[in-house]
Structure 1
Amino acid sequence: MELGDRVRDLLIKYGKIYEERTPKSREFLNRARKVLPGGTTYQIRYYRPYPVYITKALGTRVWDLDGNSYVDYWMGHGTHILGHSPDVVINAVAEAMREGTHLGYANTLEVEYAELLTRVIPNVDMVRFSNSGTEANMYAVRLARAYTGRRYIVKMEGGWHGGYDGLHVGVNPPFEGPESLGLPEEHIKYTLVVPFNDLNALETALRTHDVAAVIMEPVLGSGGCITPEPGYLKGVRELVDRYGSLLILDEVITGFRLALGGGQEFFNVKADIVTLGKIVGGGMPGAGAIASRQEIMDYLDQIKRPSARSRSFHGGTFTGNRVTLTAGYALISYLNQHRSLYDEFNSLWNDIRKDLDRACEDHDRICWVTGAGSMVGIHFTRRRPTNARIAFMERINEEIYELAHLYMRVNGILYMTEHMLHLLPSMKHTREEARQLVESLENLLSEVTGK
């Protein structure tokens, strides 16, 4: 039997099991679609034949409407580095909320948290908080243009920097043109897209355009947890310096995950501007920040630049809200006081990636495993992907990703999305839970390959 036929048969088999286990979620989708387009608040949260609707989360697990429990490998889009609802955060937030959820004025906590972040994040002197990683990237791009006086921004194929118009290009094949209806071509006319891990393509863009900044994730996130090749980040740093551009590291995922100092610390690379989200908010909504050295951040300073048009705008009603800053401060303080957790965390997932990749090797090299630290990507491609173009366009079978997601759901494991198998575990995941993941992949590959 051909691979495609086996995959389709298995989709039917496990689809029936899934529907038997989750009748309430199936019914709930009909209700949801009447008030939510597509039945969800974010399209990636939909998967076929319907999503499970989650009612509770604690530690490493989530529970659905039917009471099924899943080991969660998505963890709030990578937000919950200490698991769902850690006491250190919940207790701090409960106390702070009694004194006001959002003060709306300059407050002491924003100063204290910014001081902490400048101590733990390399190469930054100052911080401004935003309401999301998307916002952080939007403001960082504007700031880079203000500082350099240049127009163009370079991003990587497969790099996801949120829904900001100017960066909403080059995320999915064919990696050109707007990624959304309603986004005019003019809004991305100053955005150049190059392949990840390709210094020649990057240099061509820098040489031929007035580039304000290169924005990139140290490890591609939604592009499949693809890591930089040896020497690549060093080469990027040298090129931006040579051509007078800035390097914006989007650490919305990698920040506080790969290391306390993020990708800068993990890969020993220096950024000009760092953008943060997810973990920086301690699991609460409204999580985002930009951080840089003083000479760049001065372009946001209303005291030094009192005229509105002499500075780069940054603001927002809920920036610096007490709940999010309290949660973030409590979480990052805890991680700062327990830095040894990173050694254990990264060691575990280095081992697990090797075990997962061995399973791929043992089953006719049907897949490849990528990632760094606690970021894990599994790719059913003809070769190990070093960029998003390979990860998307050299797949041996598209439906196998849907099958993998369905199979894992049936076996008590949940992640996003059914179009890309990438995992963002927490420090609370145990070796036993990780071994369950390996065994589940081995069993799936055995059914797919017949070995």
Structure 2
Amino acid sequence: MRFANNPKIEEKIKVVYEEYERYYTEKTKGSKDLYERALRLFPAGVTYSIRFFHPYPLYIVKAMSTRIWDVDGNEYIDFWMGHGVHLLGHLHRVVVDAVKEVLERGTHLGFEHPYVVEYAELLTKIVPGLESIRFTNSGTEANMYAVRLARAYTGRKYIVKIEGGWHGAVDSLLYMVRRFNGTPESAGLLEDYIKYTIVVPFNDVEILEKILKEYEVAAVILEPVMGAAGCIEPDKGYLKEVRRLVDEKSSLLIFDEVITGFRLAPGGAQEYYGVKADIVIYGKALGGGVGSVGAIGGRSDIMELLNHIKKKPRELVFHGGTFAANPVVTSAGYAMVKYLAEHKELYEKSNNIWSWFRRKVEEKCSEYSIDCWATGEGSLTGIHFTKKKPRNARQAEEYRWSTLIERALHLYSRVHGLLYISETKPHFLPSLIHSREEVEKLLEVFENFLSIISAN
């Protein structure tokens, strides 16, 4: 008997949750005290909503390699890695050494510097189709500029995004991420902001083709592997079909590689899948994990719209940012990317480990007769407690059969020394240096959780 929609399993999950909430509060008294102080200072007591989990978040004070420690001295295997920025783990020597060297010469110079030139030269060598690049202060900014560039280059208004796709807080893209009712994702956003945004499901070529025939589309923007939707990978050939359809209609293809960039391969998803985008977006890991950073790049004829020397004011696409390409993040990013490009064996090892993990997760789910599935590509991995295996974001939500199991698994994992985000959709953004033993520990905890909730 499967457990989906079974009232008895829901009651069992509730009992497990309440039991482990007691264990959690016993071992994290320091975090509880800090959270009570934080509630008086920040809305919801946190600096970013996804960092909250019930009954209160942990407060981390130390990190090293694949481990982190909270204020109470509890050690955890970190499967979140600073929101995915630490591809080489916390405080990797090549990144730390690069930061130390540049800090002795200044933190923020406010002028052009050689570090960014060296980094850009490296990126254009290893990333397919990256002919020109500009740095930003975040992935959100990069997405904003990419949309602006696409509209300016094509002279068209409409942008097609993927349902459930997360592109930061850009007004025109903060739409149909988790709310699938056709309204903006946030209060304070006018309907006009999404007037020219069209949403299509991931892994559905037919609907995309229909939309491209009906509208004059400037660009299709997508995550090659969907991140916030739970690390859902593209169907075989999907990205190549998107590329073909976009070319037929003279639209542009934008890859948001804030998460997949440098993770799937040194050249990101473009290298991994063999599909080139016209514009590529970077963030997170681009700065080696030491600061906020982003970038837009791609074809030089598109990027030339940012050239204020050659373009008239009406033709120019504005771009700027006080801390854009500051020497600390560019030096750290350069060191990390250079190391990754020189140690490609890390990808093969990591990808094999996580591919094994996803297979074992589904085997264990079947063994315990629980409806759950693993999705992902490379090290990107998600677990879905759904009636069917989801191929897009809407299915990942609508196929869910429990309202509590993800939160219970998150709490159970915390108590057993594993940490990730979020408690509503288990997905992992690990480093490329996590060991087989650490991933086996994750599987062991997951299996024990299944065993407990399925016990009579």
Q: TM-score, normalised by structure 1?
A: 0.98
Could you say what secondary structure the match of 1:218 adopts?
Answer: coil
CA contact (8 A) 1:226 1:370 kept: yes
Could you say what secondary structure the match of 2:15 adopts?
Answer: helix
Q: Which residue of 1 aligns with 2:367?
A: 362
Q: Which residue of 2 aligns with 1:233?
A: 239
- Distance in 2 separating the partners of 1:362 and 1:308: 64
Q: Does residue 1:348 correspond to 2:353, yes or no?
A: yes
Q: Does residue 1:209 correspond to 2:215, yes or no?
A: yes
Deviation at 1:135, TM superposition (A): 0.7
Q: Which whole-Å deviations, capped at 9, do the CAs of 1:382-429 have from their partners, x for residues lacking one?
A: 000100111111101021010011010011000001111000111221
Q: Amino acid of the residue matched to residue 327 of structure 2?
A: R
Could you say what secondary structure the match of 2:61 adopts?
Answer: strand
Q: Does residue 1:73 correspond to 2:79, yes or no?
A: yes
Deviation at 1:153, TM superposition (A): 0.7
Q: Does residue 1:172 correspond to 2:173, yes or no?
A: no
- Distance in 1 separating the partners of 2:101 and 2:270: 33
Q: Amino acid of the residue matched to residue 101 of structure 2?
A: E
Match of 2:248 among 235, 242, 258: 242
Q: Amino acid of the residue matched to residue 58 of structure 1?
A: M
Percent identical pairs in the alignment equals: 52
Q: Amino acid of the residue matched to residue 382 of structure 1?
A: K
CA contact (8 A) 2:293 2:325 kept: no
Deviation at 1:344, TM superposition (A): 1.2
Deviation at 1:365, TM superposition (A): 4.0
Q: Which whole-Å deviations, capped at 9, do the CAs of 1:231-269 have from their partners, x for residues lacking one?
A: 211111111011111000000000000111111111111
Q: Which residue of 2 aligns with 1:339?
A: 344
RMSD (Å) for aligned C-alpha atoms:
1.1
CA contact (8 A) 1:60 1:426 kept: yes
Q: Amino acid of the residue matched to residue 165 of structure 2?
A: G
- Distance in 2 separating the partners of 1:144 and 1:319: 21
Q: Which residue of 2 aligns with 1:275?
A: 281
Q: Which residue of 1 aligns with 2:447?
A: 442
Q: Which whole-Å deviations, capped at 9, do the CAs of 1:100-123 have from their partners, x for residues lacking one?
A: 111111222211111110001001
Q: Amino acid of the residue matched to residue 92 of structure 2?
A: P
Q: Does residue 1:422 correspond to 2:427, yes or no?
A: yes
CA contact (8 A) 2:308 2:316 kept: yes
The number of residues matched between the two structures is 450
Deviation at 1:188, TM superposition (A): 1.2
Is there any run of 5+ residues in structure 2 with no aligned partner, and where? 1-6
Match of 2:268 among 241, 262, 266: 262
Q: Does residue 1:85 correspond to 2:91, yes or no?
A: yes
Deviation at 1:95, TM superposition (A): 1.1
- Distance in 1 separating the partners of 2:366 and 2:181: 30
Match of 2:105 among 99, 103, 107: 99
- Distance in 1 separating the partners of 2:56 and 2:366: 32
Q: Does residue 1:27 correspond to 2:64, yes or no?
A: no
Q: Does residue 1:380 correspond to 2:390, yes or no?
A: no
Could you say what secondary structure the match of 1:80 adopts?
Answer: coil
Superposed, 1:281-300 pairs within 5 Å as 281-300=287-306
Q: Amino acid of the residue matched to residue 110 of structure 1?
A: V
Q: Which whole-Å deviations, capped at 9, do the CAs of 1:413-450 have from their partners, x for residues lacking one?
A: 00001111000111221111110000101000111112
- Distance in 1 separating the partners of 2:277 and 2:250: 14
Q: Which residue of 1 aligns with 2:4?
A: none
CA contact (8 A) 1:173 1:393 kept: no
CA contact (8 A) 1:363 1:449 kept: yes
- Distance in 1 separating the partners of 2:365 and 2:275: 31
CA contact (8 A) 2:350 2:434 kept: no
Q: Which residue of 1 aligns with 2:417?
A: 412
After the TM superposition, which segments of 4 or more aligned residues of structure 1 sit over 3 Å from their partners? none
Is there any run of 5+ residues in structure 1 with no aligned partner, and where? none
Could you say what secondary structure the match of 1:249 adopts?
Answer: strand
Q: Which whole-Å deviations, capped at 9, do the CAs of 1:170-221 have from their partners, x for residues lacking one?
A: 1003252111111111111111111101111111221111211000000000
